[in-house]
Amino acid sequence: MDAPGRPPYQGSPSQAPQREALPLGSPASGGGRRLSRSPLRLRRGGLRRLVGWSLSRVRPRLPDGRSACRRHQRHLLSQLRLEARGRLTPLLLLPGSAMSLPIFVVDAFVTDAPFTGNPAAVCVMPAGESESAGIEPRLQGIAAEMNLSETAFVSPLEDGERPSAWSLRWFTPGDEVELCGHATIAAAHALRERGLAPSDDPIAFHTRHRGRIIQNRIDGLEEVGLPATPLEEVSAPDRRLFEGLGIEDARVVRTMEDDLVLVLDDPKRIETMHPDMRVLGGIEARGIAVTSLMDGDPDGASVISRYFAPGVSVDEDPVTGSLHASLGLLWREEIGSTFLARQASARGGLVRVDAARGDEGVVSIAGKARMVLVGAFLG
């Protein structure tokens, strides 16, 4: 059927107007960037498995009649190189664009309900790039662009006979941090789910401030042993702590991560607390936590907590892994070294804590993780 308003062609077929093949990148062709919904099937499947998205078939054709998408295919595959014992490391250079990086969003310490746990971005970089000189402004810019509580940056390393060795750094939207538990869980989950690390073998993360951190998957949970040192009692706490939290008084301890933890008697008070972030933001500490024992939790949690860090651009962290390493030391004498903890933020989450090795300076935390977004950073 002819299009409305357009007269039908009356000439012979040999005189019918022919559509001229347009060179890729010409203005009339849409710059070679006009994409349809037909997926491009790449040989080996490596690109889609690594990045999680596939290119689409490009409509314009080259002057010699070949499909333009084949040129894209060859160009992309030529930019992928094998590093770190055969793992594909992404160097995806689209014509006319800067280097793009695979990036994922993973919810760590989730419950069975959707939209729970603590989301962290995980950015996979080429070998050595996350540790290169002068890279910090770019990493900080990506973290600010993602605007999550933390973004983890991982780069593959060689570690003797262990293929799963990675450099790991953590950034909030405003600054680099020395340790982040939930982003470590997220990084390990992303590497395993995208086939960049063996699903059942340990992953060795090499960090700048906390040395070598070993991560495992046990019984479907992502587990990591975090460094932990004895808590320090604060004998004369800043009174702004109590003002900002709306409480009269509480025991206060300081952790190795420079967090201030207030120990309360009433778990309900923690759930209904409405802190004044302007007041808390002026206190010298990485973050401020409140915690209490609890009973009757439907999931069997025996510890409740919340965590506020306005000083590092995070008003309330949904679930804080590194905090629970300290909570393992705080509560083990009263309820034992292994327990389930609930962080009562708006999203909420569950953390399994094992402080059996607390005297050795290690507390294990574990939880479920769920990948919720897969893409590429093009900036």
CB 300 within 8 A of CB 326: no
Average pLDDT over residues 263-275: 96
Residue 43 has pLDDT above 60, yes or no: no
In this predicted structure, what is the pLDDT of residue 159?
60
The CA distance from 290 to 379, in Å, is 38
In this predicted structure, what is the pLDDT of residue 54?
37
Do 167 and 288 belong to one domain?
no
Q: What percent of the chain has pLDDT over 70?
A: 72
Do 191 and 307 belong to one domain?
no
pLDDT category at 71 given cuts 50, 70, 90 is low
pLDDT category at 109 given cuts 50, 70, 90 is very high
Residue 81 maps to a domain: yes
Do 249 and 343 belong to one domain?
yes
Do 245 and 216 belong to one domain?
no
CB 191 within 8 A of CB 106: no
62 vs 318, residue with greater confidence: 318
pLDDT digits (tens, 9 = 90+) for 83-103: 433 444 433 433 334 568 999
Determine whether 202 is exposed, middle or buried from the number of CB atoms within 10 Å of its CB (0-12, 13-18, 19+).
Answer: middle
Residue 25 maps to a domain: no
Q: Which domain holds residue 341?
A: 232-360
Do 102 and 245 belong to one domain?
no
48 vs 261, residue with greater confidence: 261
In this predicted structure, what is the pLDDT of residue 211?
86
Do 249 and 179 belong to one domain?
no
The CA distance from 226 to 211, in Å, is 10
How far are the Cα atoms of 3, 6, 11, 370, 376 from residue 16, in angstroms, in the given order? Answer: 16, 15, 7, 56, 44
Residue 216 maps to a domain: yes
Do 236 and 198 belong to one domain?
no
Average pLDDT over residues 5-13: 49
Q: Which residues on adjacent β-strands are paired with residue 262? A: 252, 290
pLDDT category at 149 given cuts 50, 70, 90 is confident
Do 163 and 304 belong to one domain?
no
96 vs 161, residue with greater confidence: 161
In this predicted structure, what is the pLDDT of residue 64?
55
Do 100 and 172 belong to one domain?
yes
CB 105 within 8 A of CB 87: no
Residue 10 maps to a domain: no
232 vs 30, residue with greater confidence: 232
Task: Single out the residue of 235, 154, 211, 212 nearest to residue 188, CA to CA.
Answer: 154
Residue 3 maps to a domain: no
Residue 317 maps to a domain: yes
Active site (catalytic) residues: 150
pLDDT category at 28 given cuts 50, 70, 90 is very low
What DSSP line would sit under 295-337, residue for residue?
A: ---TT---EEEEEEEGGGTEEE-S--HHHHHHHHHHHHHHH-S
In this predicted structure, what is the pLDDT of residue 53?
38
User: Taking the model in full, what pTM does it have?
Assistant: 0.71
Residue 166 maps to a domain: yes
Residue keyed to tokens 């001229």:
20
In this predicted structure, what is the pLDDT of residue 59?
40
Do 205 and 142 belong to one domain?
yes
367 vs 32, residue with greater confidence: 367
128 vs 169, residue with greater confidence: 169
Do 351 and 243 belong to one domain?
yes
CATH of the domain at 149: 3.10.310.10
Strand 251-254 to strand 56-58: parallel, antiparallel, or no bridges (unpaired)?
A: unpaired
Number of domains in the chain: 2
Do 206 and 282 belong to one domain?
no
Average pLDDT over residues 58-82: 47
Residue 34 maps to a domain: no
Q: Which residues on adjacent β-strands are paired with residue 366? A: 223, 352
Q: Which two tokens stand for residue 343?
A: 């962080």
pLDDT digits (tens, 9 = 90+) for 201-247: 999 999 998 888 999 999 999 999 998 888 999 999 999 999 999 99
Q: Which residues on adjacent β-strands are paired with residue 124? A: 154
Please enumerate, as own/partner, the contacts of 57-64 that have beta carbons within 8 Å and a separation of 24 or more: 58/24, 58/32, 58/33, 58/34, 59/29, 59/30, 59/34, 59/35, 60/22, 60/23, 60/24, 60/26, 60/29, 60/30, 60/32, 60/34, 61/21, 61/22, 62/21, 62/23, 62/24, 63/21, 63/23
How far are the Cα atoms of 81, 93, 94, 115, 301 from residue 78, in angstroms, in the given order? Answer: 8, 9, 11, 38, 51
pLDDT category at 171 given cuts 50, 70, 90 is very high
DSSP state of 67: B
CB 305 within 8 A of CB 343: yes
